[in-house]
Amino acid sequence: MTVNTALRDYLSSRRTVTAPFLAEPGPTLDQLAELLTIACRVPDHGKLAPWRFVIFAGAAREKVGQRLYDIAQRKWPERTEEQLAVERNQFLPAPLTVGVISTAAPHVKIPEFEQLLAAGNVAFNLCHAANALGFGAHWVTRWFAYDDEAAAMLGAREGERFVAFVHIGTPQTRLEDRDRPDPQALTTYWEG
Ligand SMILES: Cc1cc2nc3c(=O)[nH]c(=O)nc-3n(C[C@H](O)[C@H](O)[C@H](O)COP(=O)(O)O)c2cc1C
């Protein structure tokens, strides 16, 4: 068996770069196409491809921030201007964000739960793909993935839900690692 040391080293050390530390340059159109192609190469029971993408790039990032601000202002009138202002920057400064939507729906054979997992696989594979091309990535959901009005504004159709907004850009820092779970503490041997 040949050990793939590059892949092992990557998987052993990969780390999110959070959105405030993602800057230009972002992926070119060709790179974005490659990122999405890699993202789609995931285990997917029944080969349903129960996901789709929404891209937030260029001027759309400020526009979508203003739309989130407007919704937040209506929903939470008690919030201060400073509290609301964060909404304008939800899709900044990262040059590109890929929304990953689960299109899971009832199916004769494949449970919706498994379809949702497939979309999660896509989101994480997109993070790996971004890293492979030299970019940093940050998977977030935030309130607007769970708010029906905001999710619809962002592109979710009836019955769909966002599983991720993956911010992608050039890393401006490498974050300290965080505590990692101890797999031993999470593992038992089945004994019947
Ligand atoms: C489904 C899901 C939703 C997440 N939502 C957020 C979020 O809204 N905001 C956030 O800061 N991190 C969020 N995270 C966590 C980050 O993506 C990331 O896991 C965390 O910053 C740790 O980074 P690591 O990848 O280096 O372990 C989410 C992760 C997952 C899997």
pLDDT in tens, 25-48: 999 999 999 999 999 999 999 999
Q: Are 165 and 145 in contact (CB under 8 A)?
A: yes
In the reported structure, the alpha carbon of residue 66 is separated from the centroid of ligand 1 by a whole-number distance in angstroms of 23
> 140 CB less than 6 Å from ligand 1?
yes
pLDDT in tens, 115-160: 999 999 999 999 999 999 999 999 999 999 999 999 999 999 999 9
**Minimal-distance CA residue to ligand 1 atom 4:** 140
In the reported structure, the alpha carbon of residue 73 is separated from the centroid of ligand 1 by a whole-number distance in angstroms of 25
Give the C-alpha distances (Å, rounded to integers) separating 128 from 44, 79, 101: 17, 37, 18
> 142 CB less than 6 Å from ligand 1?
yes
pLDDT in tens, 68-93: 999 999 999 999 999 999 999 999 99
pLDDT at 174 over 90: no
Give just the sign of the alpha carbon dihedral 105, 36, 94, 62: negative
* pLDDT band of 113, cuts 50, 70, 90: very high
> 16 CB less than 6 Å from ligand 1?
yes
Instruction: Report the alpha-carbon distance of residue 39 to residue 26 in Å, rounded.
Output: 17
Predicted TM-score (pTM) of the model is 0.97
In the reported structure, the alpha carbon of residue 139 is separated from the centroid of ligand 1 by a whole-number distance in angstroms of 5
CA nearest to 140, candidates 10, 3, 9, 22: 22
In the reported structure, the alpha carbon of residue 123 is separated from the centroid of ligand 1 by a whole-number distance in angstroms of 11
**Mean pLDDT value across the chain:** 97
CA angle 76, 79, 81 (to 5 degrees): 125
Q: Are 116 and 104 in contact (CB under 8 A)?
A: yes
CA nearest to 165, candidates 134, 119, 132: 119
pLDDT at 110: 98
Looking at the CA of residue 145, tell me the nearest atom of ligand 1.
8
pLDDT at 175: 85
* pLDDT band of 170, cuts 50, 70, 90: very high
